[in-house]
Amino acid sequence: MLLNRLGEFGLIKRIRKSIKYYDPSVIKGTGDDCAVLALDKNNYQLFTCDMLVEGVDFRHNEDPYLIGRKSLAVSISDIASCGGSPRYCLVSLSVTKKTSVAFADKFLRGMLDLAKKFKINIVGGDLTRSSQLAIDVSMLGSVEKKNLVLRSGAKNNDIIFVTGSLGGSISGKHLRFTPRVKEARFLVENFKINAMIDISDGLLQDLGHILEESGVGATVYEELIPLSKQAKNLKDALYSGEDFELLFTASPAEAKKILKLKPGISRPIGEITNAQGLRLIDKRGRQDLIKHKGFTHF
């Protein structure tokens, strides 16, 4: 059987079944935005990595400054979705013989500017040659034990929130987005957030990850989904991905506090249910059971 028949997430599940952890320092391994590792009495260490490949995550003719910026931003977004702060990273580059020095300089400047903004230490990496540009970033962060948020904590009757607007990211947002570290830190420091993920593969697919890890279902409402000005339609907002907004859940009591104390930080789009599956209520009140589909690599 070929991998494209197994599918990206089928392969991930296959890999997860084979992985073993050899000591209790691994608090949370595969299955979330970050691995969670023991650090000290009050804090966990967060560990994530992301690979960006030419032709999949960006086009070679796009601004190298923005490509460099995105290569760091996607990993920062993972750290944010666990409620943490990014600290250190390693960057590995695979470049072609024909890559210009000017391209490399602009790419580096994009990374360095974002690293400066979030006070991230770039502490090393690796360099190799290939037929197309590929970038791999491994990032360490930290989070207070009391503030850690994973995908697996959603509870029945939780309200589902999303920051920002969705859809149309291919028009430029996927290269220019600012990771929601500030928003995530505000949320975990002031409210009890039960589950959280960043939207990289599409609203419904990433919500599906929360539902699967938490063992719950959900209902979302078409009229509440915030479409960006660049979104072509509702389908674009539901499935396209690369928005890198936060998707999170909180109890009804906490939801009221969020809406009251910080208007505009996020919008409610639905609720968690005990009934398995994901349901969409359209503007006419009709209910459809929909699949957790979105972007996949194969």
* Residue 229 in tokens: 């000005």
Distance between CA 40 and CA 185 in Å, rounded? 20
Element (H, E) at 115: helix 101-118
195-198 and 134-144 beta bridge pairing: unpaired
Dihedral, 198, 228, 239, 14 alpha carbons, nearest 10: -10
Q: List, for residues 61-116, the tens digit of each pLDDT value.
A: 899 999 999 999 999 999 999 999 999 999 999 999 999 999 999 999 999 999 99
Going along the chain from its start, the domains and CATH numbers come out as 22-146 (3.30.1330.10), 149-290 (3.90.650.10)
pTM of the model: 0.94
Distance between CA 97 and CA 215 in Å, rounded? 49
> What integer pLDDT is reported at residue 17 of this predicted model?
82
Q: Which amino acid belongs to residue 5?
A: R
Nearest 5°: phi and psi at 143? -150, 145
Distance between CA 247 and CA 149 in Å, rounded? 12
> What integer pLDDT is reported at residue 61 of this predicted model?
87
Are 68 and 18 a contacting pair, CB within 8 Å?
Answer: no
Instruction: Report CA torsion sign: 271, 274, 278, 280.
Output: negative
Distance between CA 143 and CA 120 in Å, rounded? 15
Residues lower than pLDDT 70 in the chain: 9, 262-264, 292-298
* Residue 297 in tokens: 């690599």
> What integer pLDDT is reported at residue 130 of this predicted model?
94
